Structure 1
């Protein structure tokens, strides 16, 4: 059995200040003034530390032993204990939150962090104003006094041995510095009080030292939670505790606590690489097997090694292998009987904090839409796919901080092909979104997520009774895992226990609300809204069995608005009306008064049927519900299936024929009109110049004065025959409406070529009409005419006096409205123009000339 190493010095080199070694801690009168320590169990320790200047009280003469202590204040006390606060040689630190504390606290934290005694939550965050916990305090004291680290097992029920700080609590307990709280717990997460901290510092200073730890180990600033494939570098320092000098050329072994005492091989596949580039996975098994990695110190007693791995947590250990380890006074070391195996009880060693390699913890969810039964792909007579059907899956990915993985790229594959289980491979499933250069659909591909971290993919199949499910993962490639697009061990992936598989069957009608969909299509040209009910298969696609789909269809229609509505039922076969309330039928139209309702039934021979609704005399609204019962002989497992839709309620606009007159106006005085002035019988809104065109030339500008609308055109557009058209679809944004929101139907004006002017003496001065530029050279009056009355003789217009006091030729509008019998949708479909012509008799011609 190896012997315990011979120790010739009590305290770890550089740990506790020589000024404090051997101090006699006896309370003096200098600290006897604390007013609140009578009966306190830690009075002796508090007074002793106060006498030595390590701790202090408050200005009111109290010590307040039950006050909580912050992480920053604890660092100051430890630094004073070690004699480090001299204001000199303050190292830099990466912590960015120390500006909240004073200079002494900043110095204490920087110097302790440089010695590996304290650490932050991250490389940038120390949180000096946070209350320190008893577990964090354990690390401070163990690291400051060089207490040996063994295992993390303790008798405290509240200390989880898997916690990173458990090993320090165990070291503190093994050294007799703490016995825990009165209830038998250690108080692992409890706040630390000033009195308790003073007592533990005092015990650490007055106990018999367990001996020097000549090996120190410090990791780089990358933290202890790394992504798979990343590396962390450690620097080891070996010092002779007798001479306090570095040892050059010494060999140390590196291993992992988790790989010591294994069954037959390494439990953690984490690779160690030494300074010479040699790599291995160190371990020692109970059956005598082992693998070693050695490092060698330089003239400064330092050596480095690097670890990297995936999906593992390891605790690096550096140890001096061998028995009879004895230090000489010249800085050397005598070691015998080396076997390459770590013996914690008899070999000098140092442990680093555990390091975890893992994937970036993305959260990937896949949610199947509808049910887990989908229709197989449909093909034509040549076997070409004409409808994929399939099932949609929604992908949603969040980053470790819980925010969406916006714009990220994920891999999508078929789980049965990638799970590594034999016998799962055969499947006819594929993703319609992924196509190769030959037009073939693929079983794997990549998808870019949207700004919400979402994407939708479809899983389809050509095989009946096929079952499959998608799997989603994110590439995280590194040296030993570098195959983009390939699912590899350790990469973040979807939780397949929560992903529903899909079973593929021949297309059939789905049941209930999944078997029908009611959509609304608006026809702005005639203020009609069409309610289209479509029968769906189990994939939510149109049910197409390759033959007539006979079904009895029913619509429940309710007038929920403020004006009468009309329902067009011309597409129904064997129409029936039931449950009519304030509803009447005339031909193919059902009129429903405000608050009325009716049930409309009929038959269809296809997978869709449509009814149309429009408002009468003003805007209104309607609520529609659809349902259908398939014929008993439709086949495809769909006989007599009942389906229905949810309620759909929409507003019904009202379109009307505007009563409007128009004239050309010359504002330049050169005899060439450059404007058209429209006068409506009531004011209109939502005007866009681009909705008014002459040929393909839109109005360049519009100006509204009450009921008048001035449209600016170039002179060429207004020369000769002029056809002015208004159509809201020209610009596609706004529609002319009145003050109630009723929409103006498209209209057309035709201006004929103006007859040559004959100069005659004017009987009275010319006055300027209101809203026009002075001295109009040409005024031609035009109006909307009823194309059904175009051949009737023109009626001589009445002469209207200008509203202004100026002397101008009188404007002679001829107002003819579109007949209510003229259906604007019919006009649009036939591309017939509603001509606005001027009917002038002899009297009017003379007046204009």
Structure 2
């Protein structure tokens, strides 16, 4: 045997971890590269070996998982593994006459495996590289290659061991003992397939030796949280298993892989040495000690930090561009935000630009301020520093010791920091889609947030979705709904509203003529199994007529399915038509019903209509006759089993079966210790062991239910309809499922491979394999693994559990009639789901959810409805906690209350949120006012985007002054759609009379979550009109006269005409005002408002406007109205600002 380096066995024992990681990253890509692997039970294992470079496919893109493996192929695969472990090829060749040196790769491979003692020749001295390798030969090769051993006390469960050669039996049992083979029927003389071989190798790589329990490391995440990593998986942990002198372990939580325990600890101190003692931990059902491990708590600055992030990576260096800066208190160990952190004050500093606040307070772990850039002719980097200066309670130690910083670039406007994306053209030669061309490359996120409208004549349609164009990043294809196709040879206009990098939309359009001059035609016919063909066309098709072998047509031999476009995955299959044979297809008396016979067949395709043909008959395709070959396939279905809970098993076949229902297609057998044989489970077994089972072993419908997995059609979920305690009558027999061993037997010919009609050989599935939940009592309650919001229905949330559960939903209805009740358990408890979050004021709220249904066939996840998205969009917090109460697993373990934190991101709605206008008003001598009107309601109840927060604005390049007050107003008399106006009241003399600039946070969001669009920097002038002079005019006979008025504060006019005679004719009041456009006024007690306009700064209030009829009127007549006339007026300036004025005319 050739020398094997020490790394060899170590490599084989450790390779699986790397291989599994590789398969976790690459299996989809690897499997996708083969056209015949999808759906195979060996797909993941094939992907693992492909990712490692140990096994390859064929030039035609297939892997052929069901093809027998040859000895030469096995040698090449193992030589790659051995070379990876450091084994080198011997200098002498293979030494076999049937392995010529001209076949270099094979010759080297055979030499390596021979020298390593993995494979050898026959008694005649030949290697036989082209001969198939049998399963018993494979057993020897795998055992020798991986140096596997078998425990001396191992008892085999393999039922056909006697059929193996005597030399092979020990090897087969060694595979069994190490979990490399799982079925009780080994079939030693059968050839091993390429797919089976991949699984055997991956399982062998996973075999690990015995390890002494020990703690590998202790990681300190915070002052109250540690992670203890074991060198082997454990069954369970609890706080009592851990002891730390000087501290208290409050709780212990085991990770999903059962190799880490997260400890909640109290009384730890920063920067101190500790030792954790780990004892009495349950491993494989036995309590063992893991010894001790020393660790040191880091200094406080090593555990905590302030994370400083900016919403944008850069700003325009114009003194107006702005962004949101977020400060978060984070644990450096977990990089998670401490959501419990409150009332922690940060001192802020920045090298360039302006922060809206010098000090900011962290609430719920976060704080935000607005950063406004400053002008610069060149790019500069602004550094933002934050340090904790005030805190209390557990956070007091952080003062002066915990800080953080961040940077952001200010780039000159000429550098083009933010660019719009504009349509530069469009075209289409298919009536169900258009192709657009942009001047720049849009991101997928920008396209998702874009709005497109396709117009043709009076018709307007919104596309179903989009897909990217290969090899042209500036092009995108819009796909229309099937029924909303365009008219051929007619002009089309597309309007695109695409946001730029900072979310500001830019509208552009393009117009072109749709011209589809080429009819669709068939480009290939692909055969799938013996009953399905896929017809691929040159473009998307609406319909066609098909004839197979000149005899069979749609509905009388096969059914036709037209592909479509999926807007979520963007998979486009409108050019593919799938034809599946039905029970009317039978070629001759000897042929299988619904299947092709192997050999050549014909397909005639006629009347092909693409979508343009629906409006243009010239686009109907001509008749095509095509041939295709069906290759013989005699593969029989095989299966594997996974026990998902003691009362639920999943049977997965390597092929999709024709049978929808698997019930009564199998038998459940138990191992009889007396007879040493497996026997059928019936209620007549002695000792009343299965008193609750069916009397008839051929009819298990009263005890078992079987459901096909709609998402995995090759899988079937088997559930007990009676609890094991009922079946065993545990209350009286004191027995339960863990007292016996079980297997499922699927008789020969019971099931059919849907692809070829072949029946199965007998399949035996061991339910008590290593690690099966049936091997020991289930004493753990279910846990929440995750909660996910539906992409298509935002009110639905899927709660994923650690194991199958039983649910009672609305009105006490059991959601699955297969759910069982444990003996003595009584009725299933009703599962309640609540959601806890914070409203727009930060007040805790509880929202009740409605349990709707199971989300999958395994009963390991369920759907809950709750209108959280609407609440979040209205201003509620995005962070929530789901609380699930009273939920049971299959054997009756009930969790009283489970929680899981999750997030509901705020979504943008189709709403334009812009600044409509800005007005300034000097108001009075005590204040100035700025009024900002938005196109929709603003947020005003706290949070990052609260429009009443002064930090959202900068005035004339500076933060708003001390004493600023901000309110919101409703301007459309509809508070349901929000408050659209923000009124900023400033100290007097804040505004400049001629021109002012106000900058709004460009990331500001409306009450509905829409981001501010359009401009964010606005120049406005304050020109408030003021009264300069006023006088009353009169006529005494032919003489004209005036009486000057008194002006107070430019707002109060008083004119006294009481000294004039009654006979004098009053002609009006003449008013001069600066920058005035009109005066609107009313008379107290008199309905209506009247207006006069200013011409060259002068306006006249005539007698008729104050209640007198006709033109000039005698004072005697006016005095009949009272001692004086008072007018309440509003003076308007050129900018629309207003000034309240009063005009009093004293008559007597």
Same fold (TM over 0.5): no
Which structure's residues are more often strand, by fraction? 2
Structure whose alpha-carbon radius of gyration is higher = 1
Instruction: Give the TM-score taking structure 2 as reference length.
Output: 0.19
More relative contact order, 1 or 2 (CA 8 Å, 6+ apart): 1
Instruction: Give the TM-score taking structure 1 as reference length.
Output: 0.23
